[in-house]
C-alpha cells in the first residue's frame, strides 16, 4: 500500500524546493500522485546541488583527456602516474558554513574525504579555498575563526594533513562566505572502486554512523536557494564526527581488499536517496531497501526523513551475495554500524519499503537524471562603466614604500600563517613543501616522483571579465605548480556563482565555464571532477563569480622541488615574461585608491605556456634556487614575498623605464615568473628561454636585508625586510583582534 500524501501537497513540495512544473513532471514519470517519500527523494536529487539542472549544458564543454590518463568516476576523478592512481576532488560547503561555520566547514572536509576513500584511495592531503567579507565586520571575523576551527578540528583529528589553499576577502562575500574543500588520495590503480550497484541478488549494506535528522533538506533547501534577510537554517547543517570517519576510512579500505565489494558510495548530499538511486543508475540495475533496518539515533523518524537525512560518516556498499559476513565483520570490528538493508533487483527501480509497506517506487534514471534547463543570460550593462579606467585619473606617488606596506597589510595578500599553523600539515610525513609557497608538494612514497597541488582564482578578474578571469585562474594554477617543479596534469573545479535564474548571474557562469574549457584544452589539462554551487547571494547581492581551480601536477624528481623564497646572497634575479602598463582589477587600485575599475589583465596563453616551459625546464635542470609567480600586488609584492621568507634582500635596478611607476610595481600583468639562480647559470637559463621564445630579463641581485627597487633613474622602493615582514606576518591576527 502506498504511503498517503497530504491534502496540502503543494505546500509540501514547494517547501522542499520543487516547483509546479517539477511536480507535474514527477506525476508524469510515476503515472500517479507521488507519496511524501517520493516527493522528498525527487526534491533532493533534482535540486541544483545534486542534479545540476542549470549547469550541465555547459559542464559538457570541459575537456576530459590530457597527457596523463584521466580517471572520471561517479564521485571523484584523478590521473594515473605509473602504477599509482591519484584521486582528487573539490566541493563547496558554502551555505552550511555561513550558518554554522565550524560544523559547516568540518563536514565539508569530511564529505570530500569520503569521496576519495570510497574510490579506493587513501586520503593523503587536503586543501581549501576560502572567501569572506571584510574583517572590519564582526560576523565575518566570527566566520573566519569558525571555518578555520572546523577545518583544523576535522582534519587534525582524522590524521589527514591540510597542506595548502588560499583565502580572499571582499565585500561581495559578506552575507555568503565560500568554503571550498579539496582532498587528494592515492592507491594502486588496480584497487580503484566505483559507485555502482549491480548483480541481481547482491546485497545492499548500510555502514557507518546512525541516521538522525541533521542535514535534512540541506541540498534542496539550504544549498539551492539564496539567503534571505532572516533565514533560520541551522537545522539543515550536519554534525561531523572525525573519529568515526577515521574508523570508516580504515574499515572501507580493508573491505575493498577482500574483493567482495561490487560498489561503494558516500551518503553525502541527499543521503540514502542519492546513494541508492545513483548507484543503481550507474550499475544499470535496480535496488530494494527496507527502512526499518536502517540504524537510527532518533525516535519517530518518518520514511521521508530517513531518505533525506544528511547525517555524516555513512556509506552504502553493494556486496557480492554470500560474502556479506566477511564484509560486515570488518566494519563491526571498527565499531561501526554494518547492516544489510536491501538487495539488487532485476527491475530497474528504486523500491523503498518501511515495515513492508512500499513508500517509494521510482526509476533510478528519473532520479539521477534531473531535467536540464536552458537559462537566459545577458551581460550586465553596469560592466561597461566599471571597465572604463583612464590611468591619467590615477595619481602617481613620489614614494611607494607606504603603498607596498599597505598592500602587504591587505588580508588577501598578507601571510596566512595564523590559519595554516592551526592545521597539521606534516602528519603522514608526505609533505615536502609546507604551506606558504606557491604550491604544496607531496612525495609518492617508494618512488622518486611527487605531486604538487594548488587552488587558485582571482574572482575580481572574473567579475570584470568572466571568460578572461577564468582563463587566468587556470593559467595561474598551472604557473604555481610549475614554480614548484611540477608539470600541470589535471583539474578539479568548484564553480561558485549567484542565482542562475537571474540573467546576469548566469552570464557570468556560462562565460567562466567557457574560459576554463578553452584554457584547459589549450594546456591539454583534463577536468576530472568538480562541483557547481549556485545561489551564493544574500540581500546584499551576489558574490563575485568564483570558479575556483584545484590543480594537480606531477613532480618527476622530488630532489628538484623548488620554492618561492630567495636562497643565496649574490644570486641573480630574472624576470621571465614581460611587464605591461595595466592596473585594471588590481589589488593596488582597490587598496590604495578604493576602486574596482578597468578590465582584467590580458592573458596570452601562448606566452603563458612559453614562460611555464622555460621555468620548468630550468628547475628540472637544477639551475634555479627559487621561483615565484607574479599575481596579486604585482612585481613589488612578489619581490617582497621572495625576500622576507628567508630574509634575503634584493636590489632590483634593471627594470624598463617606459612604464609608469605604479603600473610597473603593482600592475598584475599575467605570465610573469621571478626566478633566482647562481650568476654562473644565467646564460644557461637565457638559452632555455631563447629556445622557448620566452621574454627574459636579469632585473637585479639578491643582496642584504633590504628591498630596493629602482625605476626611471630613481629609487621607487627602499624598505627593510624586518619592517615588511612585521606588517605582512601580523596583519591577519591584528585584524581578527580589532577589525583594523
Closest to 394 measured CA to CA, from 633, 667, 636, 639: 667
666, 608 in Cβ contact below 8 A?
no
The torsion region of residue 573 among left (phi > 0), alpha (psi -120 to 50) and beta comes to: beta
Q: Identify the structural domains of the chain with CATH numbers, from first to last.
A: 562-740 (3.90.650.10)
Residues linked to residue 701 through DSSP beta bridges, in sequence order: 572, 651
617, 693 in Cβ contact below 8 A?
no
The pLDDT-based confidence of 218 (bands split at 50, 70, 90) is low
The pLDDT-based confidence of 628 (bands split at 50, 70, 90) is very high
Closest to 124 measured CA to CA, from 159, 172, 80: 159
Please tell me the distance from the alpha carbon of residue 694 to that of residue 685, in angstroms, as a whole number.
11
Please tell me the distance from the alpha carbon of residue 548 to that of residue 533, in angstroms, as a whole number.
11
Place of cell 600541470: 488
- Lowest-pLDDT choice from 69-73, 354-358, 543-547: 69-73
Walk across the sheet containing 626-629 and list its strands: 626-629, 673-677, 572-576, 696-702, 650-652, 706-711, 714-720
Where b means 16+ CB within 10 Å and e means fewer, 254-283 reads ebbeeebbbbbbbbbbbbbbbbbbbbbbbb
Name which residue leads in pLDDT, 269 or 149. 149
The pLDDT tens digits for 457-491 are 999 999 999 999 999 999 999 999 999 999 999 99
The pLDDT-based confidence of 427 (bands split at 50, 70, 90) is confident
Residue 75 backbone dihedrals phi, psi, to 5 degrees: -120, -15
The pLDDT tens digits for 689-725 are 999 999 999 999 999 999 999 988 889 999 999 999 9
Please state the rounded mean pLDDT for residues 660-668.
Answer: 96
Residue 415 backbone dihedrals phi, psi, to 5 degrees: -55, 140
Retrieve residue 645's grid coordinates: 621568507
pLDDT value at position 14? 84
Please tell me the distance from the alpha carbon of residue 692 to that of residue 626, in angstroms, as a whole number.
20
Residue 398 backbone dihedrals phi, psi, to 5 degrees: -85, -30
The Cα-based distances of 191 to 118, 120, 126, 257 in angstroms read: 11, 6, 21, 8
Residue 439 backbone dihedrals phi, psi, to 5 degrees: -155, 155
Alpha helices in 296-453 (DSSP H): 303-308, 324-333, 364-368, 382-386, 401-409, 417-420
The pLDDT-based confidence of 230 (bands split at 50, 70, 90) is very low
If one counts every other C-beta atom within 10 angstroms of the C-beta of residue 61, the result is: 15
The pLDDT-based confidence of 229 (bands split at 50, 70, 90) is very low
442, 186 in Cβ contact below 8 A?
no
Place of cell 620566452: 694
SS3 73: coil
pLDDT value at position 5? 44
Please state the rounded mean pLDDT for residues 506-531.
Answer: 97
Closest to 650 measured CA to CA, from 399, 406, 404, 402: 404
720, 705 in Cβ contact below 8 A?
yes
Cα three-residue angle 612-458-558, rounded to 5 degrees: 40
Strand locations in 523-669, DSSP E?
527-533, 537-538, 541-542, 546-555, 572-576, 626-629, 650-652
Please tell me the distance from the alpha carbon of residue 733 to that of residue 721, in angstroms, as a whole number.
19
Please state the rounded mean pLDDT for residues 382-396.
Answer: 93
Please tell me the distance from the alpha carbon of residue 159 to that of residue 313, in angstroms, as a whole number.
16
pLDDT of 454 strictly over 60? yes
Question: Active-site positions?
Answer: 49, 93
Closest to 4 measured CA to CA, from 41, 32, 45: 32
pLDDT value at position 234? 43
pLDDT value at position 132? 98
The pLDDT-based confidence of 219 (bands split at 50, 70, 90) is low
pLDDT of 617 strictly over 60? yes
If one counts every other C-beta atom within 10 angstroms of the C-beta of residue 467, the result is: 20
Q: Identify the DSSP state of 448.
A: S
Burial class (CB in 10 A: 0-12, 13-18, 19+), 554: buried
DSSP assignment of 449-505 equals -EEEEEEE--HHHHHH-HHHHHHHHHHHHHHHHHHTT-EEEEEEEEEE-S-TTSHHH
The pLDDT tens digits for 160-191 are 999 999 999 999 999 999 999 999 999 999 99
Question: How big is the chain, counted in residues?
Answer: 740
542, 505 in Cβ contact below 8 A?
yes
Beta strand pairing call for 714-720 and 673-677: unpaired
pLDDT value at position 360? 97
Max Cα-Cα span within the chain: 88
123, 184 in Cβ contact below 8 A?
yes
The Cα-based distances of 530 to 75, 215, 266, 494 in angstroms read: 9, 22, 16, 6
- Lowest-pLDDT choice from 3-12, 652-661, 679-688: 3-12
516, 493 in Cβ contact below 8 A?
yes
Retrieve residue 330's grid coordinates: 570488518
- Lowest-pLDDT choice from 88-92, 250-254, 547-551, 709-713: 709-713
Q: Identify the DSSP state of 671.
A: S
Amino acid at each position: 500500500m502506498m504511503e498517503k500524501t497530504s491534502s496540502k501537497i503543494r505546500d509540501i513540495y514547494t517547501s522542499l524546493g520543487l516547483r509546479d512544473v517539477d511536480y507535474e513532471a514527477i506525476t508524469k514519470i510515476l503515472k500517479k500522485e507521488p507519496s511524501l517519500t517520493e516527493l522528498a527523494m525527487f526534491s533532493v536529487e533534482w535540486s541544483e546541488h545534486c542534479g545540476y539542472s542549470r549547469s550541465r549544458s555547459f559542464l559538457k564543454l570541459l575537456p576530459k583527456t590530457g597527457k596523463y590518463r584521466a580517471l572520471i568516476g561517479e564521485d571523484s576523478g584523478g590521473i594515473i602516474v605509473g602504477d599509482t592512481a591519484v584521486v582528487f576532488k573539490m566541493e563547496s560547503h558554502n551555505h552550511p558554513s555561513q550558518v554554522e561555520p565550524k560544523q559547516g566547514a568540518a563536514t565539508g572536509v569530511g564529505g570530500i574525504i569520503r569521496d576519495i576513500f570510497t574510490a579506493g584511495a587513501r586520503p593523503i592531503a587536503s586543501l581549501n579555498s576560502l572567501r569572506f567579507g571584510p574583517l572590519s565586520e564582526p560576523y565575518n571575523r566570527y566566520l573566519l575563526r569558525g571555518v578555520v576551527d572546523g577545518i583544523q578540528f576535522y582534519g587534525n583529528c582524522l590524521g589527514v594533513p591540510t597542506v595548502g589553499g588560499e583565502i580572499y576577502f571582499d565585500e561581495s562575500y559578506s552575507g555568503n562566505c565560500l568554503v571550498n574543500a579539496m582532498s587528494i588520495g592515492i592507491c594502486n590503480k588496480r584497487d580503484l572502486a566505483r559507485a555502482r550497484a549491480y548483480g541481481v541478488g547482491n546485497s545492499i549494506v548500510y555502514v557507518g554512523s546512525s541516521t538522525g535528522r541533521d542535514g535534512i533538506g540541506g541540498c534542496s533547501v539550504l544549498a539551492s536557494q539564496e539567503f534571505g534577510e532572516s533565514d533560520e537554517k541551522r537545522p539543515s547543517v550536519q554534525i561531523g564526527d572525525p573519529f568515526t570517519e577515521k574508523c570508516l576510512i580504515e574499515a572501507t579500505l580493508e573491505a575493498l581488499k577482500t574483493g567482495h565489494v561490487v560498489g561503494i558510495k558516500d551518503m553525502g548530499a541527499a543521503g540514502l536517496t542519492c546513494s541508492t538511486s545513483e548507484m543503481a543508475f550507474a550499475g544499470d540495475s535496480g535496488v530494494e531497501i527496507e527502512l526499518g533496518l536502517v540504524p537510527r539515533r532518533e525516535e519517530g523518524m518518518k520514511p521521508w526523513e530517513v531518505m533525506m537525512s544528511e547525517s555524516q560518516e555513512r556509506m552504502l556498499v553493494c556486496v557480492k551475495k554470500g560474502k556479506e559476513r566477511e564484509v560486515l565483520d570488518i566494519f563491526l570490528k571498527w565499531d561501526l554500524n554494518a547492516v544489510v538493508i536491501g538487495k539488487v533487483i532485476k527491475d530497474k527501480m528504486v523500491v523503498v519499503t518501511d515495515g513492508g509497506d512500499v513508500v517509494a517506487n521510482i526509476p533510478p534514471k528519473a532520479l539521477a537524471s534531473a531535467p536540464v534547463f536552458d537559462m537566459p543570460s545577458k551581460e550586465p550593462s553596469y560592466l561597461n562603466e566599471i571597465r572604463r579606467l583612464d590611468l591619467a585619473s590615477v595619481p602617481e606617488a613620489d614614494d611607494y614604500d607606504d603603498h607596498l606596506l599597505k598592500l602587504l597589510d591587505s588580508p588577501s595578500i598578507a601571510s596566512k600563517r595564523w590559519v595554516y599553523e592551526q592545521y597539521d600539515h606534516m602528519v603522514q610525513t608526505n609533505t615536502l613543501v609546507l604551506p606558504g609557497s606557491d604550491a604544496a608538494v607531496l612525495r609518492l612514497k617508494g618512488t622518486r616522483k611527487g605531486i604538487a597541488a594548488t587552488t587558485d582564482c582571482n574572482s575580481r578578474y572574473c567579475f570584470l571579465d568572466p571568460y578572461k578571469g577564468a582563463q587566468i585562474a587556470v593559467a595561474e594554477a598551472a604557473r604555481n605548480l610549475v614554480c614548484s617543479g611540477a608539470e600541470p596534469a589535471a583539474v578539479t573545479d568548484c564553480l561558485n556563482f549567484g542565482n542562475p535564474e537571474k540573467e546576469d548571474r548566469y552570464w557570468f557562469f556560462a562565460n567562466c565555464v567557457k574560459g576554463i574549457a578553452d584554457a584547459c584544452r589549450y594546456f591539454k589539462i583534463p577536468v576530472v571532477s568538480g562541483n557547481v554551487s549556485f545561489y551564493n547571494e544574500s540581500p546584499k547581492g551576489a558574490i563575485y563569480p568564483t570558479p575556483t581551480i584545484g590543480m594537480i601536477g606531477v613532480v618527476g624528481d622530488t630532489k628538484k622541488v623548488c620554492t618561492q623564497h630567495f636562497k643565496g646572497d649574490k644570486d641573480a634575479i630574472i624576470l621571465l615574461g614581460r611587464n605591461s602598463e595595466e592596473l585594471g582589477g588590481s589589488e593596488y587600485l582597490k587598496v590604495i585608491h578604493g576602486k574596482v575599475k578597468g578590465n582584467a589583465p590580458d592573458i596570452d596563453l601562448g606566452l603563458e605556456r612559453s614562460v611555464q616551459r622555460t621555468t620548468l625546464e630550468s628547475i628540472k635542470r637544477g639551475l634555479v634556487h627559487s621561483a615565484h609567480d607574479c599575481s596579486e600586488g604585482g612585481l613589488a609584492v612578489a619581490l617582497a614575498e621572495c625576500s622576507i621568507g628567508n630574509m634575503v634582500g634584493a636590489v632590483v635596478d634593471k627594470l624598463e623605464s617606459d612604464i609608469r611607476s605604479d603600473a610597473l610595481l603593482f600592475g598584475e600583468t599575467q605570465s610573469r615568473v621571478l626566478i633566482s639562480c647562481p650568476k654562473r647559470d644565467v646564460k644557461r637559463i637565457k638559452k632555455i628561454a631563447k629556445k622557448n621564445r620566452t621574454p627574459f630579463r636579469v632585473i637585479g641581485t639578491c643582496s642584504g636585508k633590504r628591498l630596493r627597487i629602482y625605476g626611471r633613474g630613481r629609487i621607487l622602493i627602499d624598505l627593510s625586510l624586518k619592517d615588511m615582514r612585521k606588517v605582512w606576518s601580523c596583519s591577519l591576527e591584528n585584524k581578527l583582534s580589532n577589525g583594523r
